[in-house]
Amino acid sequence: MEGAPRGGELSVEATDLAQYIEPGLYDLAYSWHTADLPFWVERAQRARGPVLEAGCGTGRVLLPILEAGVDAEGLDLHPGMLEVLKQKAAARGLSARVHLADMRDFTMPRRYGLITVPFRAFMHLLTTEDQLRALRCMREHLEPGGALVLNLFYPTFERMVEPGDEERLEREFPHPESGLPVALVSVKREYDRVGQVLRAELELRESDARGYAKAVHPHKVSLRWIFRFEMELLLQAAGFTRCEVLGGFDGRALERDTDEMVWTAWKD
């Protein structure tokens, strides 16, 4: 493990879009997840300057922020996700400024009061070099006094020792339009405890009115977890001089390994 930077080498997983869930199904897979939206909308409304969301996907977070009247833009490296986002924005009468770009290496003409990376999107970066490139690039795009806010799960050690090949129901919820049951199931989980990468194979399963399987949509995701002090060092190495971590969107302190880490880092 050489410490010298490995220039230009991209982690395959972050750009292997074929592994990712189909953009048209992404909204369905996570339609149940709304608990974080008040936090992101409130942070965006409080920002002193324009807002940029890195990894905006299909706009699950960005569209409510635009609806709240915030001057916000988004970037994502998945063109299919951005297409879905634009369609959704148009249907709601919103004009969304979104950019096909990589959070590790992008150039925007303006600077932002707030840059966000919601929904653990930062965990798609699988190497320290990718993490540092992204943090430096986002810091460059902040106004002085601006803030970077992102959330990551804290790795739960009990889950790492569970059998990785048993199916686990992650979430069951009604289809937002038909009301029919939909299940998000992880069929395989592999924890690389030293490499700090979780490789999961998931299936989105739709049922018909009689409860039979109607469609199964398999996809994969690789997430690199980051420990608390490791994240402090990453932010420090990227040039941030001040940061804070909370244990959840409700603002509680980080105390347990089941907490969600909500990070804020400020540019001087």
Q: Does 252 bind other proteins (CB under 8 A)?
A: no
Q: Does 199 bind other proteins (CB under 8 A)?
A: no
Asked if 185 and 201 touch (Cβ cutoff 8 Å), the reply is no
Binding to other proteins (CB under 8 A) within 219-238 occurs at 226-230, 232-234, 236-237
Binding to other proteins (CB under 8 A) within 150-169 occurs at 154, 157-158, 160-161
Q: Does 251 bind other proteins (CB under 8 A)?
A: no
Q: Does 256 bind other proteins (CB under 8 A)?
A: yes
Q: Does 6 bind other proteins (CB under 8 A)?
A: no
Name residues whose C-beta falls within 8 Å of residue 147's C-beta, 6 or more positions apart in sequence: 47, 113, 114, 115, 264, 265, 266, 267
CA atoms of 244 and 112, how far apart (whole Å): 19
* Terminal Cα-to-Cα distance of the chain (whole angstroms): 33
Q: Does 250 bind other proteins (CB under 8 A)?
A: no
- Pick the piece of the chain touching other proteins (CB under 8 A) from 41-49, 62-70, 209-217, 255-263: 255-263
Rounded to a whole number of angstroms, the minimum distance from the CB of residue 156 to other proteins is: 9
Rounded to a whole number of angstroms, the minimum distance from the CB of residue 152 to other proteins is: 12
Site string for other proteins, 98-137 (x = CB under 8 A): ------------------------------x---------
Q: What does 30-59 look like in DSSP terms, one character per residue?
A: TTT--TTHHHHHHHHHH-SS-EEEES-TTS
Q: Does 249 bind other proteins (CB under 8 A)?
A: no
CA atoms of 157 and 185, how far apart (whole Å): 20
CA atoms of 141 and 185, how far apart (whole Å): 38
